Chain A
Amino acid sequence: MTRATVDGNEAAASVAYRLSEVCCIYPITPSSPMAELADEWSSQGRPNLWGAVPSVVEMQSEGGAAGALHGSLQGGALATTFTASQGLLLMIPNMYKIAGELTPAVLHVAARSLAAQGLSIFGDHSDVMAVRQTGFALLASASVQEAHDLALVAHAATLATRIPFLHFFDGFRTSHELNTISLLDDADLRALVPDELVRAHRGRALSPDRPFIRGTAQNPDTYFQARETVNPFYAAVPGAVQDAMDALAGRTGRHYSVVEYSGHPQADRVIVVMGSAGQTVAETVTHLTALGERVGVAQVRLYRPFPARELVDALPPTVSRIAVLDRTKEPGSAGEPLFLDVTAALADAFQISERDTLPQIIGGRYGLSSKEFTPGMAAGIFAELAAAKPRRRFTVGITDDVSGSSLQYDPSLDIEPPGTVRAVFFGLGSDGTVGANKNTIKILGADEGAHAQGYFVYDSKKSGSQTVSHLRFGPMPIRAPYLVRHASFVGCHQFGLLERADVLGFAAPGATLLLNCPHRAEEVWDALPRPVQEQILAKRIELYAIDAGRIARDVGLGGRTNTVLQTCFFAISGVLPRDEAVARIKSAITKTYGRRGADVVARNTQAVDRALDGLHQIKVPGRVTSAIELPPVVPATAPEFVRTVTAEMLAGRGNDLPVSALPADGTYPVGTAAYEKRNISDLVAQWDPDLCIQCGNCSFVCPHSVIRSTYYDQAMLDGAPEGFRSAPLDARGLPGTEFTLQVYVEDCTGCELCVQACPVTAPGQPGHKAINLAPREPVLGSERANIAFFETLPVADRARVDFGTVRGAQFLKPLFEFSGACAGCGETPYIKLLSQLFGDRLLVANATGCSSIYGGNLPTTPWTAGPDGRGPAWSNSLFEDNAEFGLGFRLAADRQAQTARRRLSELREQAGAELVDEILSAPQLGESELASQRERIAELKRRLAAATCAVQPGQPADPVQDALLDLLSVADHLVRRSVWIVGGDGWAYDIGAGGLDHVLASGRNVNVLVLDTEVYSNTGGQSSKATPLGAVAKFAASGKTMPKKDLALQAIAYGYVYVARVAMGADPQQTLRAFREAEAYDGPSLIIAYSHCIAHGIEMRDGLGQQYRATASGYWPLIRYDPVLRDCGGNPFLLDSPRPRIPLSDYTRRELRYRALGNTDPAEAERLAALAQQAVDRQWDTYEEMATRGPAHFPPDARRPAPGAANVQEDH
């Protein structure tokens, strides 16, 4: 039997792919890898079980995927899809249809939390529980092996029963866990999926050769009865599933049951559970029964149709107490779904005397959003069951100090077999630690009789992110779906992590610590922080060190220390004989890097040899010698919430936060990213005031808002720290004024975009610019002092800043700062600009995607407020509804503004006639006008507060006072609000396209900013309809053969939509102008912003250069369509970039996404490149023609003022 070390996604997909003719796909975490594998295999021409290559089709949404799935099934194909979470919710309507029509199909789901008070990409059963009523059978896998095996059972059973199946396993915990499994071969699949069932499915398909209709509309006379026709089909499912499981067992020896009991035959206490936690409970039961406890576990694999009889039969008659565990929350219910089903099943059995007793049943929630579920928790639940009065409802794994639901348990319970090696590795995403560990697992899992498991915990940030790898190896199958806690080996692959993470918290007594350390062997001990030394001594840890960074650099691997450290692990841990380990590593290197060329292989091989020479065991003295303390997580001056909640999350102690610490409605304070000083780059930007021409380009393009500028009176320099830099302000009319460009060095990612944007070069120093990268460490102390002083300087008065120039706009404080976006991100400069220009009256509706993650992924929040306390109000609803969500903001704002204006008119005398008239007639375009209006509103609110101060809550007020209070509640709306709908191309071009189109068509005053990276960046670079012709992306592995959709022209077709296509790297001034025009335009606006991206395969520091080339080649023409111009008799279509002056290939050849196809299919690459050049030429011709048309050739704006927008209309 073939063994392999794979993750749950691959385990399921390998079966699903072989048993399907059509795969309808759409990316969503954590199921995306299943779809990616299917697409990859299809593009490689890998056949299914019947020799055909499945058609893999990416749709515009999960709803679309479900629709295409339904159609494929009705057409007689064997079809599947892969999804999770909100994606599954979007499939619900079709799921009812597919089930209602008794259509065999299988959905494979990596089960994930649903977005509620916050989005979570992690695993629980919230999604699958939300479709339990659709008529689909639900089959749960608890491990990687089960994900493989039960995938087959699902495909077999659906054809046998005609009931569609949803096969699910725990997101991340199973979908992303690497484990050693036995593979099912084609013969196994063929044995369980007989051809006659496939033919029967085809025979039921729609065919004009034997026509019928399906999907009728039914009436009261028959719908009900028709609904009951399916009962026998559902009744047959548990038996059919068990038959398939038995057939599988017959071939493989792996036995499964729809409900599987294990434990004491006369158990008195039993846990009923579903999913990977079943393994944890089962292992705990083994441990407890060995100690003499009468406990057991019933693992539910088939959840729908609910196998009531099988459950009752599985439970020992001796059971008196049962705890049912649900990995979901159903607020307001009598209990969670599995609990209710189990209760009903046992009550039924008791009522019809199939059971003599009705056990006491309690229900508990565990493991939401991949919260750990450990043997200690399982034991805690059994202990609760043994209590005199067990809690009827409980939670486990958290501290619920609000409702008191949480159980106590012993977190230190360790039941893992002693033969299992446990190791934990701390690294950074950029150093290759995870990749090396995946290699290690595959090396160790390859031996017959050996088993390996790997699970990886990633960061909430995309740049400078920390990874923790949890590895287990041993002679027995590893069924421990929880993190390693008592590791015998701990690798710390970044020395700096010792200060930020409790690295040795995972170490068992006597463990080995491997430290990647830039210090010489004799200096290592003294370089350790005091608490680390204490732990080493207390746990009697053996310490090894190596300067892996130096070796990696020496052999040409840059920052990729993975091979060096992997070699050290094998050398120290002794899991294999050293020579054999080296040979295996080298073999793995050839396998992993062979296709990347001989140079890469040679460098890594050299790294292996050098590693063994550079490894030193460090003598541990008997006492603590270090005075180095751990730095505070956040400053002591941070707000209380940041100190007590955010800091705990930052320190990795978020799991310990009690329920009461967290906001109940998902509302969090803004501006908390400023307290997290990540220091992720050794090289940071540094300013040269003597060279600087104060153009503002560097801060304009800075993705992380770390470059700030201000001007101030010279006298304010008194008291400045020594070394604080300034230069006379280069502006007329402001004598005696100084300018300072301050770099927030602890937040700088070293992306170098600022250096690329700087137009100045030092006369005597070629290559030296007015802003340069230099080492952070030597300037850290002085820059901290400089920043502190800089923050005492006045912030530029918005009313005095020239918003119309790049330089002027950069005097505005960014209200989006220090996000965790990729270093050199192409999106965030646009968002920062948005926050600078309109931040104090900005409402942002943010589609799910990169921008919602770096914008709103806890622990910290980069959206922030200005010195006056005002700032962007931001929210993320969903992926698919963002345009509509933002329109809602506009509708509400307009409605409330109208209420305010009406109330003002009614209360003219009470509020002061003069003030009221001024407010109602105030223009609000310029910043000075807005500032004046704010002053009037402040005065109005003072008067209203004074007039209503006597009114007590709940006390009847007179009608006038009611009206005054009403006005007070909406008075802020008398300042014009700026509504922006922000999202990526996956949203705008695909899943949200319908809504976006409708919102643009609505004519309402909303502004749409599309951050166009031309792929689904956040989920890992899948193709969207924005992906260009000829580019390679996931789901377009063979090169995109459709051109990019021209979203700009679509919007222009309406005539009344302001449209701009911008690229900051090509023309920042045009970008700025477009933002301001869009915002000022009283109607819908759409800005499509070129956003270079890590998924393009570029040097990120060259992102601006690529923007320039995209425009220079004509691929990305800069345009503005301004309906106002048409009304003024001008041509509304403005072509802002010059004619193409470089071939398209000058732009494309610098990006891996274009190069990749040339490496794999040169002829196709050449064909598509020629077509792409033609498309660019054609597009340019079209635009040029439009730019020279008369205004009469564009549709007029026929809108009438929207009811709520009256003030804006008047203001204009």
Chain B
Amino acid sequence: MIRVEDVLAALTVEAVLSRYHVDYIDGPEIRLAQCPRCGADVKREGFAVNRDAGRWVHHSGPVGADNPCRGDLLDLVAAFEQLDRKRDFRKLVEVAAAIAGVSESTDRAELDARRERYAREREQRTREAAARRAAATAAVPDHWAQLPRRSVAGEAYVKGRGLDPGELIACDAVRFDRGDPAVRLHAYDGTIINVARRLRVPWQTPSGDVRKMMVLPDCTTDGTLVGKVADLDVVGEGPDVAVLTEGVADTLAGVLAFPGCVVLGASGAARMPDVAAAIAPRLVEARGWLLAVPHVDGGTGEDYAALAVIAAEQAGLKLDESIRLVDVRPHKDLCDAVRDGWRWRWS
């Protein structure tokens, strides 16, 4: 009987791709222009396969643990064969075994050796990834501490966006990394776990994506920009209003536009629901308010802001009572609004 562990140990990315006649450029991360699972054409080769680990993902949005377009090599074979891993498992293993060159007659000792090596390598990779992430995260506070507080180019950029760099520097909301404005990203427990910088000149990746914001490699982006959840006061007369923004520029604009409030930025719109879910319980405890600032783009910005509102409501806040939506129209975001003289009015 063919064991799935033997098949997985023997299966390689090259064998799978070659079986399905997929042309690719070889490298540690192989990028494809079409997802074999959902059939979507991915314009900028957003379908990535890690050659060594055999893990693959179709970057179709915020990557969730249960995104169906991702998995291991067996999932990849299932994707190409349009099989359901659970329902058609036996057939899937047979197909994968044929690709891997594993059969009933394959020497058992050799299969055992392969399986052990595969398990060792997988553990090793997991350990290395965890170690890399831990080391990278541990180095973030030092990295932040070493960033210059002043930069001619960076301050000029901030000023060009209509924000007062002096005020932001004075409250240590912004520092500068290679001339780009940078802000710290806190974990929900308050530790600094990443630094996000707003690129003065957006970067075009080799695959064609344009990035306006960069973070440190191997560090998570699940946290709050500039402010900390713990800054919300639950006992005394401290700040009990959280301002939820997205992106570096809007978060810095929030610091200027909402004095006395705790400005908590999400690292991209897709992170807004996560941040809202993390800060809402504390706001409930503090009996405070959440001011959500959606981007005005007629789509993604508002939709993620809506999810953030829903997440906050599930924790006990209520729209139009303890949740206020900040309307910056006709501007497209808070930064532009502040630049043009917009001011928040409590009503």
A-B interaction: no
